[in-house]
Amino acid sequence: MTPLYAMMHLWASRPFVWGEHDCALGLADWLQHLRGVDAAAHLRGQYFDALSCQRFCGWFTDPVRVIEECLATVGGLPRVSVPQPGDVAVLILPQPDRDMPVGAVWLGDCWGCKGPDGVTTLAGGAVNAGAIWGVGYAA
């Protein structure tokens, strides 16, 4: 099993908990595996639901900024327009009430996202990417 799919299995094995195991912190877990540094240490344990997440970091109004700030703690990552396996992104999912931002990892043929039901996969053409960052992962 590749490290990328091992991470998806780890995400699937943990319950979704805001501020501990959510979609943004899942990206940080992946980057910590690759770089050895927790890019979101300053976020962990600071919020406990969607409302406190918004209050603390502004996830629902500017998720790209939130991830950029996390990435800055590990020296930043380049933005890319075409994802490679292991690259991370903020996806914008259309919802009836308002669009929903989610953190995701490109698996090669779809996006993998940590969600309340474990790991959700989304077809690349079915979602709008707010931003994609190349991580330089090589299986």
pTM over cut 0.85: yes
* Percent of the chain surpassing pLDDT 90: 86
Q: State both tokens at 54.
A: 């918004």
> Which pLDDT does position 15 carry in this prediction?
95
Per-residue pLDDT reduced to its tens digit, 59-81: 999 999 999 999 999 899 999 99
Domain that holds residue 33: 3-133
Average pLDDT over residues 32-46: 95
Q: How many domains does one find in the chain?
A: 1
Q: Nearest 5°: phi and psi at 136?
A: 75, 25
Flag whether pLDDT at 139 surpasses 80.
no
Beta strands in the chain (DSSP E): 88-93, 100-106, 110-115, 118-123, 128-133
Query: How wide is the angle at C-alpha 9 spanned by C-alphas 7 and 12, nearest 5°?
Result: 110
In a domain, 74, yes or no: yes
Report the interhelical angle of 23-35 vs 63-72 (nearest 10°): 20
User: What is the rounded distance in angstroms from the CA atom of residue 42 to the CA atom of residue 94?
Assistant: 29
In a domain, 15, yes or no: yes
Flag whether pLDDT at 45 surpasses 90.
yes
